[in-house]
Structure 1
Amino acid sequence: MQLSRRQFHRGSAAVVASALAGEYCHDYPVHAAESTLKPCPTHEDTFGRLKSGNKIPVIFDTDLGGDIDDTWALLYLLKCPELDVRLIATDAGLGDYRTSLAAKFLTEVSRTEIPLAISVGPKGGRSNQQDWVGDYHHAEYEGIVHEDAADAIIRTIKESSDPVTLVCVGAVPNIAESLRRDPSICQNARFVGMHGAIRVGYGGHAPVVPEANVRNGIEPLRDTFAARWECSVTPLDTCGIVDLAGERYAKVSRSDSVGVKELMENYRHWLNRVSWLKVKPDPKSRSTTLFDLVAVTMAFSEEWMEMQTLPLSIDDKGITAIDETNGQPVRCAMAWKDLDGYKDHVVERLISGMA
């Protein structure tokens, strides 16, 4: 049965009791000392710790290797000094390909201290950046590679002394499976995602459409929104109009900063294979839409965007709608306070050194 967050609060004692009995947790038991629900971490808690000089522990859950924006977001993530990347989990199938892409990229930029985890679900298949991956396989990675992403997510959250921010930029079967196995992870994590289209669709235009990350995992996202933790998202209303062009793009593409060469190589390979673009941009002059960057930013700052808490529900086609009767409360980045300032920030981060 799927509970709303309001229902969860009313029935929390029963939920925790069943978790203690092993009904939900399976191999991840909740100890008796944890039988009282702790307040779940919020963005205010997280940003407060950042102001005190603490980095924010982050798990990056990504469908890397489909759209190129995940690769832009990965490099940006690695250059954010506010964030302590504890795990990169590939999601939404194609586990071996996505993990091999992540492993090769981290190897090229000398960040093999970051553990990787392979998506739950199908492992086979390749996609649009396979030419850059080539024959590389994640078995060659010098760092840790976990075979079960849900297990790795649970353990990373539960072993962290500080609350963990889940930054999720694809469909979220890993997250739903983690919650199914151990709902107590909500006590030490919050969710930040790139999901939905609330008032506008792609490119900032009507009509509202089923956004891809929602459409590709409707039930997992419903379960994620219904869980007892704070959820924040950037829908297409904000992330759907972020790109780099002109001098901003030139600063990045011409930079010799670590990781930029690999990013641009991936971009060119991706353009050779991608099929859904009506007009392909010139990789010498502009990026595609950089949806996922905004979710990474929201892990540590919301200063450039306007946030609203809205009751959201997801229909069977993947439309994310405001639903006052049955919706779950989700914090949404609905408008930009300073889009130009945000783009300038992104450029400076991408051409900086590693965090």
Structure 2
Amino acid sequence: MACIVEETERADQSNETQIALISGVPDDISKSCLARVPREYHMAMKCVSRRWRDFVCGDEFWDYRNKFNLAESWIYALCRDISGGVFLHMLNPFSSKRSWKRIHEYPYIPMREGMGFAALGKRLFVLGGCGWLEDATDEVYCYDAAMNTWCDVVPPLSTKRCYFACETLDGKIMAIGGLGLNPNAKRTWDIYDPLTRTCKSCSDVNIVPEIEDSFVMDGRIYIRGGGGGSSSASSGIWERMDDDMASGWRGPAVVVADELYVLDQTFGATLTMWCRETRMWIRIGKLSQLVMKQPCRLVSIGNSIFVIGKDCSTVVIDVENVRKTTMNGVMVCSSIPKTWDDDIEVISCKSVAI
């Protein structure tokens, strides 16, 4: 009986793949049409048929939308609630009713801190971390934003890490420094390749310890340590960061149109920009404390910076027009209020384009 059921299922799948995506329309034209449907309707498209679901969730659909500049970036925030549970919140910045939504389907991640968060393609990765009752871990969790589901099995890091930098470069995830069971972990980094499902460990004495922030610009990874030291790397070679540039890196950083912005949260929240020509930091303006709660994380989409604070209170800054909309040194920005009463800490934020 089991064999008959399996054969029937295979026959159904075979018949399904022979049916046109849109009746009477060649598949290449159908794919071009479906790829132009706004992302907010992708969930409904997956309910039409198995072929639609497989196409919308597949790499071909994602590649097509990115190739023809049709992809839309949504923001994902890795959060921790008052009980210590870790989960994701998602924001569609293009929606007419912008609001954060919690992604309820997620694997059990115990009370953990110091995790890495990375976006690669249409997937998000939660790496490492440590908890009150556990040492640093090498565990990796993967969330597929297109399928809206967590992957079952993901290979671990080669080194157990906590409180480390995490960035993507050249199609790979870099887990840099931090703390671990190995005392030398703070001077090493892992190169994690999701395609080959391998992880390679490297070491360099120029990696600064106690990493607090990082960003990628011009094909280089920059990291900042708690003691003020900073380093950057290109092609696996770590070097000390330029002192002029490092001196103004006093908060979370984000790159917009190849320009570096930093939110200095020392006294309030002040946005600054690194000027390559003069090699100086330029003060852009302050954020009102009435629309967001510190500490804040930054993520960019297009020419906009999303400042995401505690409880996911969010401010949107248009960097092209921000200087025109500054009054008495305070930036006039749009905001997205939180939609819940729970106390939520935002660990990190990334954007995924589909």
Q: TM-score, normalised by structure 1?
A: 0.27
1 or 2, which has the higher strand percentage?
2
Higher relative contact order (CA 8 A, sep 6+): 1
1 or 2, which has the higher helix percentage?
1
